[in-house]
Structure 1
Amino acid sequence: MFKTLKNDIPASIVVFFVALPLCLGIALASGAPLFSGLIAGIVGGIIVGFLSGSQIGVSGPAAGLAAIVLTAITALGGWENFLVAVVLGGVIQILFGVLRFGIIAYYFPSSVIKGMLTGIGIIIILKQIPYFFGIDKNAEGNFAFLKLEGKNALTELLNSLNALFSGNFDNGATIIALIAMAILLLWSNVLSNKGKFFQLVQGPLVAVVAGIVYFLLTRDSSLGLSGDNLVSVPVPESFSDLKAQLAFPNFSVITRTDVIVAGFTIALVASLETLLCVEATDKLDPQKRVTPTNRELLAQGTGNIVSGLIGGLPITQVIVRSSANIQSGGRSKASAIIHGFLLLISVMTIPHILNYIPLSVLAAVLFIVGYKLAKPKLFKQMYELGWKQFIPFTVTVAGIVFTDLLTGIGMGLAVGIVVILIKSYQNSHFLHIEDKSNGKHKIKMTLAEEVTFFNKGAILKELDSLPRDTDLELDVRDTRYLDNDIIEILDDFAFKAKERNIDIKLISERGVVENPDSFIEFFRLRPKAS
C-alpha cells in the first residue's frame, strides 16, 4: 500500500474534494443532519478502507439509499431511532458476509453494469448543471441520483435550462466554472504529459485552489459569488461543539418490528449497491484486480455499525468516488483511507477555508468524471456487440436516468434475463475439467455448447483456482454461444495468467492459438455458427 503513495496521495485529494459536497448533499436529500453525511464519509474512508479488500473502491454515504432514509426517519419516529436501524443493518451485512452472499455480484450481466456506470455518468452531468451556472438550487433539488418529490433527472434538467435561459444564473459562478473546466482540460490533455510535477499535482486540485482565490478576490465585486454557491460545512467553535454534532442511537426501540424491518431493508439495499459497485469498479481497474466480495460485506457491515453508533448515514461503496479515484490515478486502498482522514482533519481544523470553495468548481470536476463514465463511443461499442448486449444496456441507462438507480438496474437485469432465456438454454454441463498432471500441471477445460453469464461465477472460480506453472488447454470447438461476460473473464484471465506463468492453448474450429493476447479480438473475428 505504501509503495504507491505518490499516486494515491494526489488521487485522495481529488476524491476528498468530490466527496465533501456529496456527503453534505446526500445528507440534505435524506432529511438527515448535514454532519451525518460527513461522519459517514469519514467512517467509509478510514474504517471501511482499512477492512475492505478493494484496492480502489471508496465508500461513503450512498445516494441510492436517500429515499429509504428520508422515509424511515419519519416512520421510525426520529433520527436517534433510525440510527438503531443503521446499526442493525450493519450487523445483518456482517451476517451476509459470513454466509458468503457476496457471490450474488457475479450474476449481473456486464451490459447492466456498464449501463449503470453510463447512467450514473449522465446523471452526474445533469445534476451539476445548476451548480455550474449558479442557478437557484431549488430548480435542481439535490445531489442524490434518485426520483424524489416527483422529480427525476430530466425534469430537473428542464427546470435548470428554463432558469438558465431566463437569465437566472450567477455570473461569478459561471466564470470560475469555465476557468476550472479550462484548467481541467488543459491539465489532462496537455500538461499531464509535460513532466512529473503535472502528474503529482492533479488538475482538480489546481481548479479548486483557483476557485478559492477567485472567491477571495471578487467577493466584494459584482462578479463575486453568493453564499448559496459555496460549500457549506458546519463550523464548530470548539472540540465540545464538534462532539455535540454527534448523535447516538436510542436502543430502547431495538425490539420494534418496524425498526428491524428498516434495518434489514438498509442491509439488503446497501449490500446490493456495494456489490454492483464492486463489480463495476473492478472492471475500471487498470490492473484487473478482483475484490473479495464476502470480505467487502464484512467491511461495509462494520462501517455501518460504527457510523450508526456515532450518528452517521448508512454507507456503501460508491461508484462516483471510486471512479474519481481511478481516473485520478489511485493505485491502492491508501487513497480511500487518506481521503477519510482529509475529511476528518478538514472538518476539525479548516472548515472556514472549505466554505470558500465554489460549488461550480466542484461541478466542473464532476462534469469530467461523468463524461468519462458516459463517453458517446461506449454506446457505439455496445451496439457493435449486438442486440443481446445493447438492449439491456440502453434499458438500464434509461431506467436510471428517468427513475432511480435501483429501479434502472432492476429493469436492465430483467431485460437481460429475458434476452438470455430467448437465446440460450440451461446447460448443467457447461464446464468440464480434465486433469492430466504429469510433473507440470496440465489441465484441459472444455466449454459447453451454450455458456451464458449465469455461468460466470463458476468459470471465474475455476480459473482463479488454477495453480501457478500450469499448461491450460481451453477447448471451444463445440461452443456455439459464448456470452460477452465470459469472453471478458477470459480476456482478464489472459492478463493475469502471464503473472502466474500459466500457458494457454486455445483450441477452436479455426485451429490452435498459443497464449492469445486478446480473447475479445479472437471471438470478434470468429465466424458465427449457423
Structure 2
Amino acid sequence: MIHKHLTYYLNHSKDDLPAGIVVFLVALPLCLGIALASGAPLFSGLIAGIVGGLVVSWLSGSQLSVSGPAAGLTVIVFNAIETLGSFQGLLTACVLGGVLQLGLGYLRAGIIGAFFPAAVIKGMLAAIGLILIIKQLPHAVGFDASFEGDESYMQESASSSIAEFLAAFERFSISCVIISVASLIILVLWELPAIKKSFLKIIPGPLLAVILGISYNLIATLVAPEFTVKPEHMVSLPVLNQPLDFFSHLTFPDFSYLANPKLYLVALTIAIIASLETLLSLEATDKLDPLKRIAPTNRELKAQGVGNIISGMLGGLPITAVIVRSSANINAGGKTRVSCFFHGLLLLLSTMFISQYLNAIPLACLAAILLHTGYKLAKPSLFIEYYRKGMSQLLPFVITIIAILCTDLLIGIAIGMAIGLFFVIKANYHAAITLIQQGQHYTLSLNKDVSFLNKALLRKLILRIPENSTVVIDASQAKFIDHDILETLQDFLETAPDDQITVEVVDLYGKENIPKHETILILESVND
C-alpha cells in the first residue's frame, strides 16, 4: 500500500513540484502581510504557513487544498491580542481552538459543507476572483497600502478596496507597471495550446514571471537606477544570520491564560470561523479540481484542528484552508498533496537559508500571478453559463457575488444560501404535488416528500377540480406525507360526494408517517 502511494506521488511529481514553487511564491508575502495586519510578529505568519504545508497537507483528505494563515481571521486575531493582553495569550486560544476543531471533526460536523448549493459556491469563487483583481491592481501599479488585502475577502468590503484602487493611480510606479504587465503577458502566453504542447511547458509561467521581475530590477539597478523598484514594493522577509536562529524566533503559548474566561470566547470564535472558512474553501477546491475528487470534510476539520494545535504551540497564527492559495495550486498544475507539502518545505528552507535573496522579488510579480488567478475564477464565460441555466441558478450566483463584495465572505455566503434555499423550496413546492387533466378525469400526484409547506398548493389544486369529475389521488411516488396534507385530503374526500366527484386513492397505505387506522378511514370514505 505504501509503495502504491509512493508511486502515485512520484508519477505526479513533475506537476506537483513546479506547482509547489508557485504556491510558495504566492504564500510567502501573504504569510508576512497577514501577520503584519494581525498585529502579530511577522515570523508567526511564516510558522503558520510552514505548519499548513508540512503537517496539514498529509492529514487532510484533500489532494489540492492549501492551508495557512488566512486574512479572514485577521481582525479576530488583532482583537484577541488586545483583549487577552499578549500574543502568548492568543497562541493559547489558538491551541484551544484547534482542540475544539478536532472535536467538531469527531462529532462529524463537517457534513454541513455538503449543504452549500453549487451556484453559491461558484458565486463565492467568482467574488473572490473579482476581489483579487480589485485588491491586486494597486500592488501591480506600485501602491501597496494594504498588506492583508491580497486575500482579505472575509473582512474588507469591496467599497474600501475600490477606494484604494482609485487612489493607486495617483501614486503609481512605472517600474511596477512594467513588471506586472510583462508578467501578465507571460502568464497569458503560457496558457496558449502552442506553449502547452511545446518543451516550454516544463517551466511554470508564474515562476518565469518572478524570474523576469528579479532580472528587470537587477538590470535597472545597473543601467537606470531611477527605474528600480522601491524597497517597500519588494518582498520583506525577516533575515536570519544563521539557520539555527530559526528556533530562537519560536514563541510558546502561556497556559496561565486558561484561567481567563475571555480566552474561551476567543478560542470558540477562532474554531467556528476557521472551520467555516475551511469547509467553504474545501467545497470550492473540490469544484475546481480537474479530477473532480471529493475531500472528506470531517477529516479536514480534524486536520485543521491538529494544525492549529501545532501552530499555536510553535508561535504561529491560526490557520485554515484558503481558496486563494488552493486555486493558485490548481492553476499551476498541482495534482496531489505533494505540491502543498513542497510549498511548506520551501517556506521553511527559505526562511532558514535564503531569506535575503527572496527579498529581491518585486511584489508586482506576485500581484500579476494573483490577477491571473482572479481572472480564472471570475471568467465572463462563467456568468454566461449561469445566465443560460435560468433565474433559479443565476440569481443565487449573482446575489452571492454582490453580497460578498458589499459585506464579507460569511455574510455574503449566508445571503447566497438564503436565496438558494428560497429557490429550492420554490422548486419543491411546485414539484411535490401535480394535477393532470384528461377531459373530466384528473390525477392528483403526490411526489417525493410532501410537507406542510405544500398545503396551500394542495388546496389550490383541489379547488380546480370541477363537479362531476373523476379523481385519482396517487401517492405511489411519495416517501413522506405530512399530517397537514393528510387532513386536507381527508376533508376533500368527505366533501367530494357533495360535488358528485368520484375519488380513487392509490398507495397511501405504508407511508412511514401515516398510521394504518387513518389510511383505513380514507379508504372507507372513498368506498362510501
Q: Shared fold by TM > 0.5?
A: yes
Partner of 2:67: 59
What secondary structure sits across from 2:292 in the alignment? coil
Report how far residue 418 of structure 1 moved.
2.5
**8 Å CA contact retained: 1:140, 1:160:** no
For 1:153 and 1:71, the matched residues in 2 are separated by: 22
Question: What is the CA–CA distance in structure 2 between the aligned matches of 1:448 and 1:330, rounded to whole Å?
Answer: 44
**Alignment check: 8 A CA contact 2:71 2:148 kept:** no
What is the alpha-carbon distance in structure 2 between the residues aligned to residue 139 and residue 280 of structure 1? 26
1:426–1:335 CA distance, 2 compared to 1 (3 A): farther
How far apart are the structure 2 equivalents of 1:293 and 1:200? 33
Q: d(CA) in 1 for partners of 2:355 and 2:183?
A: 22
Contact 2:432 2:447 in 1 (8 A): no
Counterpart in 1 of 2:240? 236
In the aligned structure 2, how far is the partner of 1:191 from the partner of 1:353?
A: 33
Counterpart in the other structure of 1:462: none
- In 2, the alpha carbon distance for the partners of 1:169 and 1:450 equals 60
Hey, what's the Cα distance between the residues in 2 that align with 1:260 and 1:275? 22
- Call closer, same or farther: CA 1:355–1:131 in 2, change over 3 Å: same
- Alignment partner, residue 205 of structure 1: 207
Structure 1 CA distance for aligned equivalents of residues 447 and 273 of structure 2: 35
Asked if the contact 1:42–1:60 (Cα under 8 Å) also holds between the matched residues in 2, the reply is yes
Aligned residue for 2:68, secondary structure, equals strand
Q: CA deviation at 1:450?
A: 6.8
Once residues 182 and 341 of structure 2 are traced to their aligned partners in structure 1, the CA distance between those partners, rounded to angstroms, is 30
Distance 1:282 1:271 in 2: 16
Contact 1:26–1:144 (8 Å) recurs in 2: no
Instruction: Map Cα deviations across residues 464-501 of structure 1 (whole Å, 9 max, x no partner).
Output: xxxxxxxxxxxxx979xxxxxxxxxxxxxxxxxxxxxx
Alignment partner, residue 12 of structure 2: 4
Matches within 5 A, 1:486-501: none
One-letter identity of the residue aligned with 1:334: V
Matched with 2:173 is 170
What is the one-letter code of the residue matched to 2:336? S
Q: Secondary structure at 1:82's aligned position in 2?
A: helix
Let me know the Cα RMSD of the aligned residues.
Answer: 2.4
1: CA distance between counterparts of 2:186 and 2:150?
Answer: 24
Equivalent in the alignment of 2:337:
333
1:30 aligns with 2:34: no
Contact 2:288-2:327 at 8 Å conserved across structures:
yes
The answer for the alignment partner of 2:163 in structure 1 is 158
Q: How big is the shift at 1:448? A: 5.4
TM-score norm. by structure 2 comes to: 0.78
The correspondence of residues 317-396 of structure 1 with structure 2, limited to 5 A, is 317-396=321-400
Shift in CA distance, 419/276, structure 1 to aligned 2, threshold 3 Å: same
- Is 2:63–2:335's contact at 8 Å kept on the other side of the alignment? yes
1:102, 1:293 within 8 Å by CA — same for their partners in 2?
A: yes
The answer to whether the 8 A contact 2:142-2:364 is kept is: yes
How many angstroms does 1:118 deviate by?
0.5
Q: Which amino acid aligns with 2:187?
A: L
2:140 counterpart of 1:138: no
Please give the per-residue CA displacement for 1:317-339, whole angstroms capped at 9, x wherever unaligned: 11011111111111111111111
Deviation at 1:54, TM superposition (A): 0.5
For 1:448 and 1:280, the matched residues in 2 are separated by 32
Aligned counterpart, 2:115? 107
| Residue in 1 that maps onto 2:24 | 16
Label 1:293 to 1:163 Cα distance change in 2 as closer, same or farther (>3 A): closer
Q: Contact between 1:109 and 1:416, CA under 8 Å: does it hold in 2?
A: yes
With the length of structure 1 as denominator, give the TM-score of the two structures. 0.78
Distance verdict in 2 for CA 1:391–1:209, change over 3 Å: same
Between 1:275-284 and 1:216-225, the stretch displaced more is 216-225
Partner SS, residue 390 of structure 1: helix
Q: Which residue of 2 aligns with 1:73?
A: 81
How far the C-alpha of 1:304 sits from its partner, in A, is 0.4
- What is the CA–CA distance in structure 2 between the aligned matches of 1:271 and 1:362, rounded to whole Å? 28
Residue 192 of structure 2 is aligned with which of 189, 194, 201? 189
**Same amino acid, percent of matched pairs:** 50
**Distance change (3 Å), C-alpha of 1:224 and 1:270:** same
- TM-superposed CA distance for 1:341, in Å, is 0.2
- Cα deviation, 1:132-161, whole Å, max 9, x if unaligned, reads 0002x237873342476xx63233323332
State the one-letter code of the partner of 1:225: V
Gapped runs of 5+ residues in structure 1? 430-446, 452-476, 480-530
Name the SS for the 1:138 alignment partner: coil
Q: Which ranges in structure 2 are unaligned for 5 or more consecutive residues?
A: 1-8, 434-445, 451-475, 479-528
Give the conservation status (yes or no) of the 8 Å contact 2:157–2:404: no
